[in-house]
Amino acid sequence: MGVALCKPCTLPELGAAQPPTLICDIMTDEQTSDETQAELDPITALAKEVDALKSELSDIKASYSKLAADNSALLESNRRLLGELGKMVSPPEVKPPEKSAADIAYDAFKLAIGIER
């Protein structure tokens, strides 16, 4: 991290400073806060952002795993319920008797003449 100087300082002024600080006498508090934020290492900022994204991704993965388990349990229970419902309600289906060729021909003849619609 570099030293932020508010004005061009000469070597004697730099040596005369008591403790090395980033704040000169002329700088305001707003300037120092802006400069310290600007001086933040881009790699460090990027690393913080990557860490935040990693934690968000892990939260999303955990949420997805929970949702997948809940959906599997729901599908299985629905499958069992439909199986039980099918056993209780479904009487044997009675199919209507198939029409003979003569009945089909007779129905087609009536339809062609316009007797029945």
Instruction: With respect to residue 116, please indicate whether it lies within any of the assigned structural domains.
Output: no
Exposure string of 75-112, with b = 16+ CB inside 10 Å and e = fewer, is eeeeeeeeeeeeeeeeeeeeeeeeeeeeeeeeeeeeee
Express as a percent the part of the chain with pLDDT over 70.
62
Query: What digits encode the pLDDT tens for the residues 31-61?
Result: 555 555 556 789 999 999 999 999 999 999 9
Instruction: With respect to residue 113, please indicate whether it lies within any of the assigned structural domains.
Output: no
Instruction: With respect to residue 1, please indicate whether it lies within any of the assigned structural domains.
Output: no
Instruction: With respect to residue 13, please indicate whether it lies within any of the assigned structural domains.
Output: no
Residue that the structure tokens 């209507």 belong to: 96
H-run or E-run covering 32: helix 29-38
**Tally of domains in the chain:** 1
pLDDT value of position 39: 62
DSSP output for 52-113 = HHHHHHHHHHHHHHHHHHHHHHHHHHHHHHHHHHHHHH-PPPPPPPPPPHHHHHHHHHHHHH
Residue 79, domain extent:
41-89
pLDDT value of position 22: 52
Query: What digits encode the pLDDT tens for the residues 90-107?
Result: 567 788 888 899 999 999
Instruction: With respect to residue 31, please indicate whether it lies within any of the assigned structural domains.
Output: no
Regarding predicted confidence, which is higher, 22 or 64? 64
Instruction: With respect to residue 15, please indicate whether it lies within any of the assigned structural domains.
Output: no
pLDDT value of position 26: 58
pTM score over 0.75:
no
Burial group, residue 7, by CB count within 10 angstroms (0-12, 13-18, 19+): exposed
pLDDT value of position 53: 97
Instruction: With respect to residue 71, please indicate whether it lies within any of the assigned structural domains.
Output: yes
8 Å CB contact between 116 and 108: no
Give the CA count within 13 Å in the CB-facing half-sphere of 59.
6
Average pLDDT over residues 64-79: 96
